[in-house]
Structure 1
Amino acid sequence: MDLRQLRYFKEIVDQGSISKAAEVLHMAQPPLSMLLKQIETHYGTPLIKRYRQKWEITEAGQMLYNHATHMLQQMEMFDVKMDYMMQGEMGQLRLGVSSSCIHLVGDVIRQFSQSYPKVELQIFKGDSEKLEQMLFNNEIDIAVILAPENSEQYEEFPLTPSPFALAVPKNWSNQIDLDVVSIQNLMKFPFISLEAMEGYSMLENIIYYLKEKNISLNIVAKCKDITIAQYLVAKEVGISILPKIQLGYVDGIHFVDLPELEIAIQPKLFYKQEATFSPICRNFIALFKSNT
């Protein structure tokens, strides 16, 4: 049986007569009577007992009526969900956010969740190299990461760049004259270095800058994650050269500008062209751009 037959049978029972059901359905009575007979023939049992003055539904008819009611309700719910999905108001969005860009997405995520409460937002965190690979492999839909050297395969939207600066623990200010800081004088301090990431040149640029100054650092730790590097500086493990971004540990850090170090991180919103076919992705991208 198809949904049309179920709908017609349910209407017959709801109206209490074939003639009234035919009127509601805007059809002639004979085809509706024939449909009822076809259903009864199909199941090999009466569904409605007919008397001269009245009729009553049989046990089999009641079972079919319950089934028809359930199926039609499910179909109606599916239609509503499909409409939500086509409008980008229901479904799932897989968003990758690097730790160095998390401060750029909080307000957008809050507004998106408020505007589209039926969309499940699945957030992936990691370094930019890992998330770019996930985007390439279609494991996420959108990535907010540091811009790699080669990004021609993606659509992109640039965000505000953050320059690199010398990151010093605040409690070390009595050991370092922060007003006349010279990077050559910092060689004695333990140094926390960012690790190289495939497709990113910022570490190479910093190393090149330091080599030009004939500076050999006392490296005590290396990490790819800027958040971890900031945490280690705040905990007085050492100094570092990091982007001036507002992450969770900047209260324990003093940033010193290095004007001669012309290096900055460039965060961007990345997505593949096919992501624009998804109404959910389009809604998120539009909201993100309008907030930037």
Structure 2
Amino acid sequence: MKITFIGLGLIGGSLAKDLRKKKFATELVGVENNRKNAKKAVEIGLVDRTETLVKGIEGTDLVIIAIPVDKELEILPEVLDKISANTTVIDMGSTKKVIADKVADHPNRKNFVAAHPMSGTENSGPTAAVDNLFRGKITILCDQEDSGPQHVALAEKMFQTLGMDVAYMSSDEQDHSTAFVSHLPHAAAYALANAVQAKEDRSIIFDLASGGFRSTVRLAKSSHSMWHPIFQQNCKYVVESLDVYIKHLQEFRDSMKDNDFDKLKDLIISANKIRGILDGENPHFVKNEEKFTKLYTK
């Protein structure tokens, strides 16, 4: 199998790394506009070689698009224009509705599988690629009824090879859900980083910064070239998630402002319940074959 990776940063590079290790393909080709990144990707063995877009997707079995979502709006239709009849195209974008709508009427829409692997770090570029980035994580396949069954099957096989669970949602459901669990945390981290940097005595604050602060604000190091278009494409649901978050922040603030420390204690205890949910103690959140589809679809 020949796989062509469009974009060789954290996601594309980590995919290439693990798929090579799993011997999922015999040939790995990269398409990367940044010459420095293209050279580095070959040097460190992420791909066998890099090509132009046209040459890179010629005769390929699988195209993986792992670039910022604004660039994908330009590249995806072009890729679908040029692929052979049997080629599968899978994207990795964090937003889905705008992208799915862009190619809804494309003659080769059936070749496209809209996916979002829920994994990543704040780092970027080929050297950010890491082993086992996706193992034990969830990938969301969107609007699978609009994709050919053979293309969905290949996508499922690839993600399962990476050790991922597979969930199924509509593009709109995906955007709504990830606004809360992915996009909101990034927005909050950016806001927190700006709030601390706005302090006049910030140098002292940073000297005192502990592991807790660093882990909380870590996402603020994420690239603007990736996250600005994500917020732009999913602004409706990100605004909704921010409104909910701000409401709860105000509740915390007001409990202290009003010296209502019993209320503050109740808010903290309520928040502590997230531990049980994340640890799988709540049976309604347990992932298993019987409940998995029900959990992630209407």
Give TM-score, length-normalised by structure 1. Answer: 0.27
Computing the radius of gyration from Cα coordinates, the structure with the larger value is 1
Specify which structure has the bigger relative contact order, considering alpha-carbon pairs within 8 angstroms and separated by 6 or more residues. 1
Flag the structure with higher strand content. 1
Flag the structure with higher helix content. 2
Give TM-score, length-normalised by structure 2. Answer: 0.27
